Chain A
Amino acid sequence: MIKVFLPYKTRKIFNLPVEVDAEGNNLRNLIEFLDKKYPGLKQELVDEDKLIPTISAVIDGRTTKLGLIQKLDNVSEIHFLPSIAGG
């Protein structure tokens, strides 16, 4: 099982704890798994088969560039975070 950390507002809407458990061999499947467990969750993260542009996925401390096709091998933690703008 992979520990998934969702954004605060998503946790509030679905009444979820800080960490939830999920499974999946890639990010798409993991989100499908979460959506089955908590119906409607997918909409918070995905739009038109892509991660919504204001969300980043961080896997064991590294931000993935690959979006939903990112494979998940031997992963402990996934964080969904608001994307950061910088300068």
Chain B
Amino acid sequence: MVSKSKKSDYKVIGTRPIRHDGYDKVTGRAQYGADIKLPGMIYGAVLRSPHAHAKIKKIDISVAEKMKGVFAVMTAKDLPRLSDKQRGNSEESGSEKHLSENVMAMDKVLYKGHVVAAISAKDVNTAREAVKKIVVDYEVLKPVINVDQAMKKGAPILHEDFVGDHLGKKVKNTNVATFNKYTTGNTDEGFRKAHLIIEKEVELQTVHQGYIEPHNGTAIWDEDDRVKIWTSTQGSFANRDSVSKVLNLDVSRVKVTPLEIGGGFGGKIPVYLEPIAAVLSKKSRRPVQLVMSRTDVFDASGPAPGGKVIVKIGVDKDGKMLAGYADIRLEAGGYPEAFIEAAAKCVFSCYDIPAMEIEAYDVLVNKPSSAPYRAPGSPQVAFATETVVDEICRKLNMDLIDFRLLNVAEKGTRTALGPKYRKIGLKQVLEAAKKSDHWQSNLEKNPKSGKLRGRGIASGYWFNIGEKSAVNLSLNMDGTVILTEGSTDIGGSRASIAMQAAEVLGVKAESVRPSVVDTDSIGHTDVTGGSRTTYATGYAAYKAAHMLIDEITNKAAKIWDLSEDEIIYSDGVISSKTDSELRMTLREFADKNPFGPVVSSASVDLEEAAGGFGTHIVDLEIDPETGKTDVIRYTVLQDVGKAIHPAYVEGQLQGGATQGIGWALNEEYFMSDQGTMLNSSYLDYRMPIALDLPMIETILVEVPSEDHPFGVRGVGETPICPPVPAISNAVNDAIGSRILSTPIKASKILNKLKSM
């Protein structure tokens, strides 16, 4: 039963305690994936394909395996052959065979950096030297590196035996893994009636999540055929599922211990090194650790899909939207899954449009297999939609926010995929944007510096996946509570989960001690991703806390020889309705209680919830001589439902916005014609640094969700959706012309200025 707590009653929620894992993290004590050392541990290295597309004809390990210090060598022959069976879980789809082949290539390599073999040796330098001695015979094939190349007639085909699904039709010999369509209403009629139709096509380059910590995996395969894994992962159970699939073991034979994780943003959901470490451990009879180099991370771990998006919107003379059309083509990389359903869900998500038609293509290209990057598919489509909206406003001479309010999506609005929205807060976010200091402030368009200034605004959306989480609570003798959960903590979530339990229990945040535990120690918990953690695992903590109170009440009644309904539990104090002398703190109760340990356990499997919409406002300044763009002011507004720990909510907004700013201005995979990434280092893959940014203002709008007792909406992903179009619109405001491809870098701006 969900009971809604009154806003004014909150004692812990909305405060900013120091996070429970903070002391370990500021002193260097916290153990991340590459920090763990096991007795007898040896090190692995992998051999990666130098070609983007090639057949593997032969692998000769004879020299490598004889080298001094080498323990074992493995190829895909050491992995079980898997079927085409679809995995179909919420975070990763595709077939089992593809999962295994992405870990280590069997007959073909599909991207530069695709793993071909691996070696374990006494130290990492020996292992790296030894992999160079493995000789691979390739038949090099022509690669396709973007959607246009991949979809062209006669293009080289990545998977010869793969059958694509084009609107239900089985299609062979194609790089389009899936072609899907979504329609509501009658778009032909809508466009026919429209007073103004604007259509724009945008193109986006591949970008990487950019987490500072490279992928890692440490494994022991013991003599009982049980595998223990230590890794930095966004989901220990998802990791266990994937590893056990690749190794063809029952899940119960695999135990995953999550270590601290140095960033993920979706990219640390897929498995890369763990199955390799496990097999090398089996062959070496030692614990084996593998860590990716930064080059490997860029070359071979899943980036966010690049691609092309066309959006067309028709409005009546008052600016009311009548019809929307979208054509979405996103790069899946070497294996299917380019998040086109999510893109289709999000493309018109901010607007109430009576007729919509969306065509979406999931396209195989010779790049690493795409992985989620914060709201996968949504930033790409937001770029197109918010550009069209901006253009319509300018053509109709309508205020940029008023137009959005006129067409705003609300509770009951029918979405593009069909269902109607439950309670959402975009209207409140837009109204807050209108009132904001940033929007109200005047932007001096002709500064003495001679730089060109512009302002842009854009909205974006991501939902909250629900899924499964479990939480255990246990009362300590000193009246504090231990909380164990399975959601790996990438941004302070263990604190917000503990705070929700503390709020229910009526104790201080510090009195609930959270730990993130392994797959043997907690019920199934789905990934830290999909903006689900504070929502779903927090809900489980809420439930477990109520159950703990029931336990305490039950035992207190027995201690005092009263009936349970005579007991009051409030703010960590147990008392009696009938006798005012009877009173115990939790500590006193724990001391007096002879009825056994006080524990509780709760789990949830939540449905998807309507997440939080975001609107961003950006002021920027362009140097007309160099084309360099500086962000001079940035405001993030977002409906956060209820901010449990506001500082970490603000952090998600600022972090996601910064990634979007990098995506908009600098970041791209610079590909050679042979399909290799030429800028696979932090020097040339240019992410924002402290010098690039001003302070990022955050305005937390709270429209409580109907689906959580405190009204929580997951916030982590939405912030990456608006920045690209907000910046593109601001550039247009500054120079009077649109650049419709990312990154909007200096050279493009200079060329545009020259051509004007």
Chain A residues with CB under 8 Å of chain B are 5, 7-10, 12-13, 18, 52-54, 58, 61-65, 77, 79, 81-87
Tell whether A87 pairs with B266 under 8 Å between CB atoms, given A5-B418, A53-B86, A54-B93. Answer: yes
- Residues on B with C-beta less than 8 A from A62 are 422, 607
Q: Do residues A9 and B168 form an inter-chain contact, with CB atoms below 8 A?
A: yes
Q: Do residues B345 and A84 form an inter-chain contact, with CB atoms below 8 A?
A: yes
Q: Do residues B180 and A9 form an inter-chain contact, with CB atoms below 8 A?
A: yes
Chain B residues with CB under 8 Å of chain A are 86-93, 165, 167-168, 180-184, 265-267, 269, 337, 339, 341-342, 345, 371-376, 417-422, 462-463, 465-466, 529-530, 605-608, 717
Q: Do residues A82 and B180 form an inter-chain contact, with CB atoms below 8 A?
A: yes
Given contacts A9-B180, A86-B376, A86-B463, 17 further A-B contacts (CB under 8 A): A7-B180, A12-B167, A54-B93, A58-B419, A61-B421, A63-B608, A65-B605, A79-B419, A81-B418, A82-B180, A82-B341, A85-B337, A85-B342, A86-B530, A87-B265, A87-B373, A87-B376
Quick one: closest A residue to B610, CB to CB? Answer: A61
Tell whether A86 pairs with B372 under 8 Å between CB atoms, given A10-B168, A61-B419, A81-B418. Answer: yes
- Residues on B with C-beta less than 8 A from A8 are 167, 180-183
Give the distance in Å from the alpha carbon of A62 to the alpha carbon of B721 in the complex. Answer: 24
- Residues on B with C-beta less than 8 A from A7 are 180
Quick one: closest B residue to A44, CB to CB? Answer: B168
Indicate which residue in B376, B418, B422, B463 contacts A85 across the interface (CB closer than 8 Å).
B376
- Residues on B with C-beta less than 8 A from A65 are 466, 605-607
Quick one: closest A residue to B707, CB to CB? Answer: A62
CB distance from A86 to the nearest CB of B (A): 4
- Residues on B with C-beta less than 8 A from A9 are 165, 167-168, 180-181
Indicate which residue in A63, A77, A81, A87 contacts B371 across the interface (CB closer than 8 Å).
A87
Quick one: closest A residue to B304, CB to CB? Answer: A87
Q: Do residues A83 and B376 form an inter-chain contact, with CB atoms below 8 A?
A: no
A-B contact count (CB 8 A): 102
- Residues on A with C-beta less than 8 A from B266 are 86-87
- Residues on A with C-beta less than 8 A from B417 are 79, 81
- Residues on B with C-beta less than 8 A from A81 are 341, 417-419
- Residues on B with C-beta less than 8 A from A82 are 180, 341
Give the distance in Å from the alpha carbon of A7 to the alpha carbon of B466 in the complex. Answer: 22
CB distance from A27 to the nearest CB of B (A): 14
- Residues on A with C-beta less than 8 A from B529 are 86-87
Indicate which residue in B86, B184, B374, B422 contacts A87 across the interface (CB closer than 8 Å).
B374
3 A-B pairs closest in CB distance? A87-B372, A53-B88, A87-B266
- Residues on A with C-beta less than 8 A from B90 are 83-86
What are 25 A-B pairs at a CB distance below 8 A? Answer: A8-B167, A8-B182, A8-B183, A9-B167, A12-B167, A18-B183, A52-B88, A53-B86, A53-B87, A53-B89, A54-B88, A54-B93, A77-B419, A79-B418, A81-B418, A82-B180, A85-B90, A85-B337, A86-B266, A86-B339, A87-B91, A87-B265, A87-B269, A87-B372, A87-B376
Quick one: closest B residue to A66, CB to CB? Answer: B605
Indicate which residue in A12, A53, A85 contacts B372 across the interface (CB closer than 8 Å).
A85
Quick one: closest A residue to B716, CB to CB? Answer: A87
Give the distance in Å from the alpha carbon of A64 to the alpha carbon of B463 in the complex. Answer: 16
CB distance from B381 to the nearest CB of A (A): 14
Indicate which residue in B183, B341, B373, B422 contacts A83 across the interface (CB closer than 8 Å).
B341
Q: Do residues B92 and A85 form an inter-chain contact, with CB atoms below 8 A?
A: yes
Tell whether A85 pairs with B93 under 8 Å between CB atoms, given A61-B421, A61-B422. Answer: yes
Indicate which residue in A52, A77, A79, A85 contacts B341 across the interface (CB closer than 8 Å).
A85
- Residues on A with C-beta less than 8 A from B463 are 86
Q: Do residues A13 and B168 form an inter-chain contact, with CB atoms below 8 A?
A: yes
Quick one: closest A residue to B606, CB to CB? Answer: A65
Give the distance in Å from the alpha carbon of A43 to the alpha carbon of B67 in the complex. Answer: 56
Give the distance in Å from the alpha carbon of A7 to the alpha carbon of B344 in the complex. Answer: 13
Give the distance in Å from the alpha carbon of A9 to the alpha carbon of B717 in the complex. Answer: 30
Which of B168, B418, B420, B605 has the most chain A CB within a 10 Å cutoff? B418
CB distance from A49 to the nearest CB of B (A): 16
Q: Do residues A12 and B418 form an inter-chain contact, with CB atoms below 8 A?
A: no
Give the distance in Å from the alpha carbon of A85 to the alpha carbon of B529 in the complex. Answer: 11
Which of B89, B341, B374, B606 has the most chain A CB within a 10 Å cutoff? B341
CB distance from B669 to the nearest CB of A (A): 18
Give the distance in Å from the alpha carbon of A84 to the alpha carbon of B607 in the complex. Answer: 12
Give the distance in Å from the alpha carbon of A13 to the alpha carbon of B170 in the complex. Answer: 12
Tell whether A87 pairs with B418 under 8 Å between CB atoms, given A9-B168, A63-B607. Answer: no
- Residues on A with C-beta less than 8 A from B267 are 87
CB distance from B408 to the nearest CB of A (A): 18
Quick one: closest B residue to A55, CB to CB? Answer: B88
Give the distance in Å from the alpha carbon of A63 to the alpha carbon of B466 in the complex. Answer: 10
CB distance from A5 to the nearest CB of B (A): 5
Give the distance in Å from the alpha carbon of A10 to the alpha carbon of B165 in the complex. Answer: 12
Quick one: closest A residue to B85, CB to CB? Answer: A53
Q: Do residues B717 and A87 form an inter-chain contact, with CB atoms below 8 A?
A: yes
Give the distance in Å from the alpha carbon of A85 to the alpha carbon of B89 in the complex. Answer: 8
Quick one: closest B residue to A63, CB to CB? Answer: B607
Tell whether A64 pairs with B607 under 8 Å between CB atoms, given A8-B182, A85-B342, A86-B529. Answer: yes
- Residues on A with C-beta less than 8 A from B422 are 61-62
Give the distance in Å from the alpha carbon of A64 to the alpha carbon of B608 in the complex. Answer: 9
Which of B180, B184, B419, B530 has the most chain A CB within a 10 Å cutoff? B419
Q: Do residues A85 and B339 form an inter-chain contact, with CB atoms below 8 A?
A: yes
Give the distance in Å from the alpha carbon of A7 to the alpha carbon of B358 in the complex. Answer: 12
Q: Do residues A54 and B86 form an inter-chain contact, with CB atoms below 8 A?
A: yes
- Residues on A with C-beta less than 8 A from B265 are 87
CB distance from B174 to the nearest CB of A (A): 16
Indicate which residue in B88, B183, B342 contacts A86 across the interface (CB closer than 8 Å).
B342
- Residues on A with C-beta less than 8 A from B374 are 87
- Residues on A with C-beta less than 8 A from B167 are 8-9, 12
- Residues on A with C-beta less than 8 A from B462 are 86
- Residues on A with C-beta less than 8 A from B418 are 5, 58, 79, 81
Give the distance in Å from the alpha carbon of A53 to the alpha carbon of B92 in the complex. Answer: 12
Quick one: closest A residue to B374, CB to CB? Answer: A87
Give the distance in Å from the alpha carbon of A53 to the alpha carbon of B88 in the complex. Answer: 5
Q: Do residues B530 and A83 form an inter-chain contact, with CB atoms below 8 A?
A: no
Give the distance in Å from the alpha carbon of A18 to the alpha carbon of B717 in the complex. Answer: 31
Give the distance in Å from the alpha carbon of A10 to the alpha carbon of B91 in the complex. Answer: 24
Give the distance in Å from the alpha carbon of A81 to the alpha carbon of B183 in the complex. Answer: 12
CB distance from B659 to the nearest CB of A (A): 13
- Residues on A with C-beta less than 8 A from B182 are 8
Indicate which residue in A61, A77, A79, A85 contacts B91 across the interface (CB closer than 8 Å).
A85
- Residues on B with C-beta less than 8 A from A58 are 418-419
- Residues on B with C-beta less than 8 A from A18 are 183-184
Tell whether A86 pairs with B181 under 8 Å between CB atoms, given A58-B419, A79-B419. Answer: no
CB distance from A75 to the nearest CB of B (A): 12
Q: Do residues B88 and A87 form an inter-chain contact, with CB atoms below 8 A?
A: no
- Residues on A with C-beta less than 8 A from B342 are 84-86
CB distance from A58 to the nearest CB of B (A): 5
Give the distance in Å from the alpha carbon of A62 to the alpha carbon of B463 in the complex. Answer: 13
Give the distance in Å from the alpha carbon of A53 to the alpha carbon of B168 in the complex. Answer: 16
Which of A9, A61, A83 has the most chain B CB within a 10 Å cutoff? A61
CB distance from B599 to the nearest CB of A (A): 26
Give the distance in Å from the alpha carbon of A87 to the alpha carbon of B342 in the complex. Answer: 10
Quick one: closest A residue to B265, CB to CB? Answer: A87
- Residues on A with C-beta less than 8 A from B376 are 85-87
